Chain A
């Protein structure tokens, strides 16, 4: 098994892991982390596609690699915006939840109704 295939399989597994975290972890910050893992899995798939496109004396196809660089920057801005939003939400409500209507309640309500 070549390093590229291995990286591709790793990418596939990372996508699965990231998706699971994004679906099931209730804390928004953990969702953001899972989103980043999911994203890096996708980038790895771009990576193996680039590697398989090695030709004309290049070790890899530069186009997907450039796309990954763009993608990493975009993912970072997304993370930054999401984290800032989350911090602001926490500042206002002392809570961090995505479930509907929850932030409308008083901070000390505690139990969900």
Chain B
């Protein structure tokens, strides 16, 4: 059990994982104490550090070809807690660092403390919560213990919810409350499942659990039940159809940089844990019934989300429903990537690629919508004629993001769809490929609804002067989604590091 021993001892470079977690925690604490405009400064000072750490982790994982491990306090699991980074964690960390930095840069000005004022509510809350959210994401991506991950999920929720209602409008308060209560509902189910797992195996460490579930010939009832509860709880936080009640109002009403982070990263965090659960903790229990059920919900999400996006009157609601649809794609990876089939690796890469490219594309689209809202004073789709000329980069960013959502080349969305469709064809599971195609067509429809009138020549009355800097941020993120389409083979090798079946050869 070489892999097992490896997973229970700190590896070289493991300290990077600790730093990746505590840097944003320190930033958040310091920001609260020092307060005022320093909160923003601290956040900005730490963002490059966070990005550097994330990149260092990715490089270290890639160079060693092994997951990084850090045993906290020198107490190895099952008693203690380990942090671990595989290829998926590493790319998610980098993505999170990039999107948060972009959202932060976009938020400059919007959440600035004006001169002469010691401290303002919204800026202080925004910058501290943003860093708290970042810390939570880091723990989610690195955590090796299911209870520790529960704490991280709560951390994430508590950072995300107040961001939704930062401007205090009644509809944002209602959206935030709905979000909070449903997320808590999900957390409790997750915790209940974790309790049952602990009761059965006496540990919540992911690697140890994987080892123990694999050793059992029969599924204990408690374990099956735990799997259902934990997955359902995480699905609630991921807003997979039909559990998306909270997402459209929350994501559509939050301030644009918050919407970007929520749609790009926060829903991916709970998705990430569902992947951990089924691929790492209990790959043996992921029967066809389970994976088909997850993918069927995903397919329903694609169809419902896309059609509903087509029917929205407001731009930000359209984008939010598009998130509901795009989350659906993520779940198509379950029946395709589980197991050691010839197509599993490409389905895995496809699922991860979809996670990453949607993060960039959707963040870009929400920021672009933010620019539109700021300058028009509304985001009614019927009244967007001609805005392309007033804010060309924002519309270009929206269009490029849309390109990725539609799955047109060159973009990460195309690469993801290509890999997932390839796997669905090779595995004989045609239905998923057809759903992906229909989803792409519908995405084309809702992107067209916005971009076509925006490119018209019509005069628009702007309420605020254009901010080229914010447009450029949106565009940079959209280009990120496009650039993912040019990812070299080495990138896909990185994604495979730590994939349980891929690593089975090492045991």
* In the complex, A touching B (Cβ < 8 A): yes
Check if B195 sits within 8 Å of A89, measured CB to CB: no
C-beta contact mask, A83-103 vs B, less than 8 Å → 1, else 0?
Answer: 001101100110001101011
Q: How far is the CB of B242 from chain A (nearest CB, A)?
A: 14
A60 CB within 8 Å of chain B? no
B371 within 8 A of partner (CB) = no
Q: Does B171 contact A (CB under 8 A)?
A: yes
Given contacts A39-B188, A70-B151, A103-B170, A64 and B198 within 8 Å (CB-CB): yes
User: Given A78-B187, A98-B174, list of 15 further CB < 8 A pairs?
Assistant: A32-B181, A39-B191, A42-B188, A45-B196, A49-B199, A67-B147, A70-B151, A81-B180, A85-B176, A85-B180, A86-B177, A88-B165, A98-B177, A100-B178, A104-B171
Indicate which residue in A45, A64, A70, A93 contacts B170 across the interface (CB closer than 8 Å): A93
Which residues in chain B, 174-201, are within 8 Å of chain A measured between CB atoms? 174, 176-178, 180-181, 184-185, 187-188, 191-192, 195-196, 198-199
Complex Cα distance, B157 from A106, in Å, reads 30
Chain B residues positioned under 8 Å from A74 (CB to CB): 151, 154
Beta-carbon contact of B249 and A100 below 8 Å: yes
Interchain CA distance A39-B191 in the complex, whole Å: 9
CB neighbours (8 Å) of B199 from chain A are 45, 49, 52
- Contacting pair A22 B185 (CB below 8 A): yes
A35, A39, A77, A89 — most chain B CB neighbours (10 Å): A89
* Closest CB in chain A relative to B77 CB, distance in Å: 11
The answer on a CB contact under 8 Å between B170 and A82 is no
CB proximity of A22 to chain B, nearest CB, Å: 6
Interface size of A in residues (CB-CB distance below 8 Å):
36
- Which B residues lie within 8 Å of A42 (CB)? 188, 191-192, 195
Chain A residue contacts of B176, Cβ below 8 A = 85
A103–B171 CA distance with the chains assembled, in angstroms: 6
List 26 A-B pairs, Cβ < 8 Å. Answer: A42-B192, A49-B198, A49-B199, A64-B195, A64-B198, A67-B147, A67-B198, A77-B154, A77-B158, A78-B157, A78-B180, A78-B184, A81-B162, A81-B180, A82-B184, A85-B176, A85-B177, A88-B165, A89-B173, A92-B168, A92-B170, A92-B173, A93-B174, A97-B174, A100-B249, A103-B173
Partner of A82 from B171, B181, B202 at Cβ < 8 Å: B181
User: A45 — which chain B residues lie within 8 A by C-beta?
Assistant: 192, 195-196, 199
Shortest distance in angstroms between B425's beta carbon and chain A's nearest beta carbon? 39
In the bound complex, residues from chain A placing their C-beta under 8 Å from that of B187 are 78
CB distance from A20 to the nearest CB of B (A): 13
A7 to B195, CA, bound (A): 15
Whose C-beta in chain B lies nearest to the C-beta of A71? B191
Nearest Cβ distance between residue B230 and chain A, in whole angstroms? Answer: 12
Answer whether residue B264 sits at the interface, using C-beta atoms and an 8 A cutoff: no
**CB of B161 within 8 A of chain A?**
yes
25-63 of chain A: CB within 8 A of chain B:
28, 31-32, 35, 38-39, 42, 45-46, 49, 52-53, 63
Q: How far is the CB of B450 from chain A (nearest CB, A)?
A: 23
Cα-based distance from A103 to B173 in the complex (angstroms):
9
Give min CB distance, A73 to chain B, whole Å.
10
Structural contact, A103 and B195, CB atoms closer than 8 A? no
A102 touches B147 (CB 8 A): no
**Of the residues B181, B191, B192, contact of A28 by C-beta under 8 Å:** B181
CB-CB under 8 A from B165, the residues of chain A are 85, 88
Q: Report A-chain residues with C-beta under 8 Å of the C-beta of B192.
A: 15, 42, 45
B181 touches A102 (CB 8 A): no
Return chain B residues, CB-CB under 8 Å to A39. Answer: 188, 191
Closest 7 CB pairs of A and B: A49-B199, A103-B174, A89-B173, A92-B170, A103-B170, A42-B192, A85-B177
The answer to whether A78 touches B195, judged by C-beta atoms less than 8 angstroms apart, is no
Least CB separation from A68: chain B residue? B195
What chain B residues lie within 8 Å of A77 (beta carbons)?
A: 154, 158
Q: Which residues of B contact A38 (CB under 8 A)?
A: 188
Closest CB of chain B to A68's CB: distance in Å? 9
In the complex the two chains form, is A78's CB within 8 Å of B154's CB? yes
Contact B170 A31 (CB under 8 A): no
Residue of B nearest to A97 (CB): B174
Residues of B within 8 A of A89 (CB): 170, 173-174, 177
From A15, A70, A71, A88, give the contact of B173 (CB < 8 A).
Answer: A88
When distances are taken between beta carbons in the complex, the residues of chain A under 8 Å from B202 are 53
Closest chain B residue, CB of each to CB of A78: B184
Whether the Cβ atoms of A28 and B177 lie closer than 8 Å is yes
CB nearest to B147 among chain A residues: A67
Complex CA distance for A32 and B231, rounded to whole angstroms: 22
In the docked arrangement, what's the CA distance between A86 and B181, Å?
11
With the chains together, A49 CA to B199 CA distance in Å? 5
Residues from chain B with a CB closer than 8 A to the CB of A52 are 199
**Cα(A42)–Cα(B181), bound, Å:** 17
Report Cα–Cα, A109/B201, bound state, in Å. 55
- Shortest CB-to-CB span from B314 to chain A, Å, is 12
B173: chain A residues within 8 A (beta carbon) = 85, 88-89, 92-93, 103
Question: How far is B151's CA from A41's CA once the two chains are assembled, in angstroms?
Answer: 18
Partner of A98, one of B79, B147, B154, B178: B178
Greatest chain B CB density within 10 A among A32, A52, A64 is at A64
Which B residues touch A97, using CB under 8 A?
Answer: 174
Chain B residues within 8 Å of A103, by CB: 170-171, 173-174
Taking the closest CB of chain A, its distance from the CB of B170, in whole angstroms, is 4
Nearest chain A CB to B14 CB, angstrom units: 23
| A63 / chain B contacts, CB cutoff of 8 Å | 79, 198
- A13 to B178: give the CA distance in the assembly, Å: 26
A67 CA to B204 CA, complexed, in Å: 11
List the B side residues contacting A88 at CB < 8 Å.
165, 168, 173
